[in-house]
Structure formats: C-alpha cells, structure tokens
Chain A
Amino acid sequence: MDDETRLDLSPLDPGADPVAWREFLARTQQRVDAVLTEREGPEGPMLVIASWRRRLLLAAAAALAMLVPAEIVLELRETRAERVQRLVAVSTHWGATPPTGAEFLRALSEQRR
C-alpha cells in the first residue's frame, strides 16, 4: 500500500454508529433550540415599536417625496404672483408720470418689505 492510498480511518467515523450519531445530533439540536429561543427574547413594547420603525420610516419617506415637489411648485407660483402684484402696485403709485430709475428701485424695495 503506497502513501497515495486513502487510509481507513472508519473506526473514528461517528457515523459508523448511526444511532449514537443521531442521538448526538438530537442533543445538539435541543441546545440550539434553547439558544435560539433565548436569542428571540420576550416581545416587549420597545421591540414592537422597533419592528414598526422601518415601516414608519418608509411611510415618512414616501410622504416627503410627494410633499417636497408640491411645495416647490406652490412656492414658485406664489413668487410669480407676488412679483406681478408688486409691479402693479409700483406702476399705480406714479399714475401718469413715469418714475426715475432710483424711484422705481426704492418703490420695489418698499414693497418687498
């Protein structure tokens, strides 16, 4: 027999005694079950809240995704409307006489305030 041939180590094989090996696996499983139960822990109120945290965060993100663009559009509309209103107010201020550039700027800044 040369050194390239597999040695017969079967006397060390735990599977050679299947009953013993099954018992061993069963006892291991019992210990694992106990550990996994311990790992889960009791479901207290904090854990319930924690389990909802992800869903709440997703809902908040979705709401923000809808509200932010709407807010931007409203903001733009408002600004445009304000600008028109200001020009109307400035132009009615002088009646028929056209204002100088300085008067126009002053009137604009007053309106802004």
Chain B
Amino acid sequence: MDQTDAELVEAVRQGSRAAAGQLAQRHLHGCRAIALAIVGEVSGADDVTQDAFVYAMARIDDCRDPSRFRAWLGQIVRSRARNQVRDRKDDRHVPLEAVIPADSRPSPAQDAERSDLRTRLLAALRVLPEDHREVVLLHDLEGWTHREIADHLELPQGTVRSHLHHARRVLRGLLEELRED
C-alpha cells in the first residue's frame, strides 16, 4: 500500500531520499500547474516548481501538519511563483527543453504542433485572472476535484465551480479566435 504524505514527510525528516522522491513524484505535477497559473510560462514554472520543492525539503521540519503536506507545498509554490513574477531576473534553472537529448524528443513536426498549441493556450490563459487560471489548470489538467481546489485556494466550492465555468468559456472563445488568426 502507498505510504501517506504524513508518513513520507516523517521519513524525509529522518533523512530518507527515497521518501522525498516519492513526494516529488506525487506532487510536482500539481505544483507545476500552480506555478504555471501564476508565472504564465513553462520554463519559469519549471524553475519555480523545482526551487519550491527543494526549499520545502530543506525546511521539512516547518511543515506543522504533515497530513496537509500538499497544501503546505502549494503555498510555497504560490509564494515563490509570485516572487518570480516580481523579479524575472532570477534564472538559475536550466529550462526543461534544454536538457533533453535531441533523439528522445518528439519529431520536429510534432514538436512544432505541440509548441504552437502550447503557445496559444498560454496566451489565452494570460487573459484570465490568476485564480481562474489556477482553478482551470488544477481541474482540467491535473484532475483535482472542486473540493480539493476549494481547500487549496481557501474558496467556497461554489466559487471554484463558477471560476471554472468562466475560465472554460473565456478560453474556448479565445482559442477559437487564435485558431482563426
């Protein structure tokens, strides 16, 4: 059976690298969506995600309620993402694309198509308010439930549903427009 977050946090406190790896596997996807919602571009979001996770591991003793590790980590990601938006000069991280060997990447045609879709999506997302972006990314990309998002953003579930509805409507319209252009 999978260990709970609380058990993994305790193991990290005892120095377990494997437990830290499991927490990364479990939560970096979600963290990346949160970072992307705030930073608005992929390499910056990767940067924030990695830095926030490393920071969290270094200060694992500060996680007061290990069963709520995801919420605690999410707050670190949000805070660091906002800092990065304020100060875009911080660039210690190598972008994801830069370290992948050319032969393991998708073909140039696939790459170009994917990149084009990504650019359009990111452009459309930028039009939305930050909390709407976060809701739609966590729900439609990461598969979080309304309840989980409400808990993470400290919003009523009804507000989350309304943000999601609004975000989808705006994004669909914008993506149509961008496609026509």
A65 at the interface (CB under 8 A from B): no
Complex interface: chain A residues within 8 A of B169 (CB)? 3
**Contact of A25 with B105 at beta-carbon distance under 8 Å, contacts A3-B169, A19-B100, A35-B54 already known:** no
Complex interface: chain B residues within 8 A of A62 (CB)? none
Tell me whether A12 and B137 are in contact (CB under 8 A). yes
What's the dominant secondary structure at chain B's contact region?
helix
A15 at the interface (CB under 8 A from B): yes
Tell me whether B168 and A27 are in contact (CB under 8 A). no
**Contact of A32 with B20 at beta-carbon distance under 8 Å, contacts A3-B168, A23-B100 already known:** yes
Tell me whether A28 and B165 are in contact (CB under 8 A). no
A40 at the interface (CB under 8 A from B): yes
Number of B residues contacting the other chain (C-beta, 8 Å)? 43
A24-B35 Cα distance, complex, nearest whole Å: 15
Complex interface: chain A residues within 8 A of B139 (CB)? 6
| Partner pick for A12 among B54, B118, B168, CB 8 A cutoff | B118
| Partner pick for B21 among A4, A12, A16, A29, CB 8 A cutoff | A29
**Contact of A40 with B172 at beta-carbon distance under 8 Å, contacts A19-B104, A28-B28 already known:** no
A8-B139 Cα distance, complex, nearest whole Å: 11
A11-B142 Cα distance, complex, nearest whole Å: 13
**Contact of A25 with B136 at beta-carbon distance under 8 Å, contacts A15-B29, A17-B100, A36-B17 already known:** no
B46 at the interface (CB under 8 A from A): yes
B68 at the interface (CB under 8 A from A): no
Binding site for B on A (CB under 8 A): 1, 3-17, 19-20, 23-25, 27-29, 31-33, 35-36, 38-40
Q: Which 4 A-B pairs have the closest CB atoms?
A: A11-B117, A11-B118, A9-B141, A19-B104
A-B contact pairs, 8 of them (CB 8 A): A9-B136, A9-B140, A11-B117, A12-B42, A17-B96, A17-B106, A23-B96, A32-B24
Contacts A16-B114, A23-B100 known; list 6 others, CB within 8 Å: A7-B140, A9-B137, A9-B141, A15-B29, A20-B99, A31-B54
